[in-house]
Structure 1
Amino acid sequence: MNIYQHFRLEERDYIDQVLHWKNYVETHYTPKLTDFLDPREQHILKMLIGENGDVGYSLFGGAHEVERKRAYIFPDYLTVNDDDFQISLFKIDYPAKFVTIEHRQVLGTLMSLGLKRGKFGDILLKDGNIQFFAAKEISDYIKNNVESIGRAGVKLVETDISNAFAASESWEDQEMTVSSLRLDTVISGIYHVSRQKSQLFIQQGLVKVNWTLIENPSFLCEDGDMFSVRGYGRAKLNAIEGKTKKEKWRVIVGKQK
């Protein structure tokens, strides 16, 4: 059976990586800890490793409600606990009365350190307080190299992961019809913009599907795809229910409130 047929072409490199991790654990009888994975990467890993083999997996991102998680792949005779995931939690001390720090500014500062996105987990904001998860192996490097975010001077304070804010997201489902499952058409329908404007968003690099930048307007969307349009929020294609009598696609979309 060709395992690639169940996934998109652009996911092949990641599929090969997961299969390599699995083979490593099988042949060396030793566990493998990954970087933080987005939900699509987690889904692929679950499908490839399965539930009933000699290799198991567990996912954890510092708290159980978060989106980005590290995977711990292990021989099935081992037991796993949260400490195995090697995750640090930082809170950001800054003069909140005088300045506002946004999610994108935190992520931009962390990425400017020259580290991969996979070294950082979720960024949590609550009532002006900010926390983020990071791989423990880079915690000292982060503390020594982050002194400001935006225009604000900051101090990073490492704290126990049990102090993490609860992640809270609210979604609203709606049924809609689209003339095709092309990305530009779906984006147009979800965000109530013209087809020309959705194409412009895509061409300008403002659109991600499953956390990956997509610049092809004719990219075909599938059940379960997650969309992000910069400045417009996130949405998910929860279900493709078939065609109407007028040959349009009936879909159910969840939009983040």
Structure 2
Amino acid sequence: MDIYQHFREEERPFIDQVLAWREDVELKYQRKLSDFLNPREQDIVKAVMGNHPDFNFGLSGGKDQAERKRAIIAPEYEIIEEEDYQLTMLEASYPAKFVTLEHPDVLGAFMSLGIRREKLGDLVVKDGVIQIITDQEISDYIRMNFTGVKRATVNFEEKPLSQMLESEETWVMKNTTVSSLRLDVLVKEIYGMSRKKAGMHIDSGHVKVNFRVVENGAFQLQEGDLISLRGQGRSKLEEIQGLTKKEKYKVSTSKLN
């Protein structure tokens, strides 16, 4: 079966990367630990690995419901333990009464230190607390160099993964009908705006599909695609249920609130 047929052309380089990891494990009998992967990349790893009898693979981001996870591909006889993912949870507090911090503020501060997003897992900013899952290799660097964000001085300390806070975000489901599966049509429907305004957001690079900026309103969405609109959160095309008698698509969508 051709694995490429299930994914878009622009995803082919990552598919090739996963295939190269698998081949390397097969030739050297040494496991491969990836950087943190977004949900779409995790889906690709699952599709490429399938139930192949010669390999054992797993995903972990510190907790079951983590969004960003690292993958391990290993020879089939090896047992993968949680500590093999080399995850560290760092925590810092800030005076929420005097400083308002949001996810983009803190993530931007990490990026300003030259830390690649792929080295960072889930980030929680909540009630005066910052928590971040990181690659063990950079945890000391973060603790020494990440000392402030906006007007807040912070001091990161290592904490057990079991103390990771739960996100209060919830996905709200909706069933609707749309004239097509174009990106501008779904953005209009999900975010409650005119199609013209949806098109303007897309043309301005404000919309991502599966974590990639898409600037084409005619881009055709597929079941499972994750959409994000700058400043208005994320959503997902959960299911395409078929056509109505008037040739409209019956779809289920969800939006993160």
**TM, length-normalised to structure 2:** 0.96
Q: Deviations over 1:69-92 (max 9, x none)?
A: 000111111111111001111112
1:68-217 alignment runs, 5 A limit: 68-217=68-217
Q: Is the 8 A contact 2:95 2:128 kept in 1?
A: no
Alpha-carbon distance in 2 for matches of 1:198, 1:147: 39
Q: Give ranges in structure 1 of 5+ residues lacking alignment.
A: none
- Structure 1 residue runs of 4+, over 3 Å off? none
Q: Is the 8 A contact 2:54 2:75 kept in 1?
A: yes
Aligned residue for 2:156, secondary structure, equals strand
Aligned residue for 1:34, secondary structure, equals strand
**Structure 1 vs Structure 2 CA RMSD:** 1.3
Q: CA distance change for structure 1 residues 205 and 151 in 2, over 3 Å: closer, same or farther?
A: farther
How far does residue 109 in structure 1 lie from its aligned partner after superposition?
0.9
How far does residue 250 in structure 1 lie from its aligned partner after superposition?
1.2
Residue number in structure 1 paired with 2:6: 6
How far does residue 178 in structure 1 lie from its aligned partner after superposition?
1.2
Q: Is the 8 A contact 2:208 2:227 kept in 1?
A: yes
Residue number in structure 1 paired with 2:231: 231
Q: Is the 8 A contact 1:190 1:253 kept in 2?
A: yes
Q: Is the 8 A contact 2:3 2:47 kept in 1?
A: no
Alpha-carbon distance in 2 for matches of 1:52, 1:8: 23
Alpha-carbon distance in 2 for matches of 1:196, 1:112: 35
How far does residue 31 in structure 1 lie from its aligned partner after superposition?
0.5
Alpha-carbon distance in 1 for matches of 2:204, 2:53: 44
* AA matched with 1:158: E
How far does residue 168 in structure 1 lie from its aligned partner after superposition?
4.3
Residue number in structure 2 paired with 1:218: 218
**TM, length-normalised to structure 1:** 0.96
Residue number in structure 2 paired with 1:43: 43
Alpha-carbon distance in 2 for matches of 1:137, 1:237: 36
Q: Deviations over 1:209-251 (max 9, x none)?
A: 1122212211110001111111111111111111222221111
Residue number in structure 1 paired with 2:17: 17
Aligned length: 257
1:48-59 alignment runs, 5 A limit: 48-59=48-59
Residue number in structure 1 paired with 2:246: 246
Alpha-carbon distance in 2 for matches of 1:78, 1:122: 27
Alpha-carbon distance in 1 for matches of 2:200, 2:103: 24
How far does residue 150 in structure 1 lie from its aligned partner after superposition?
1.8
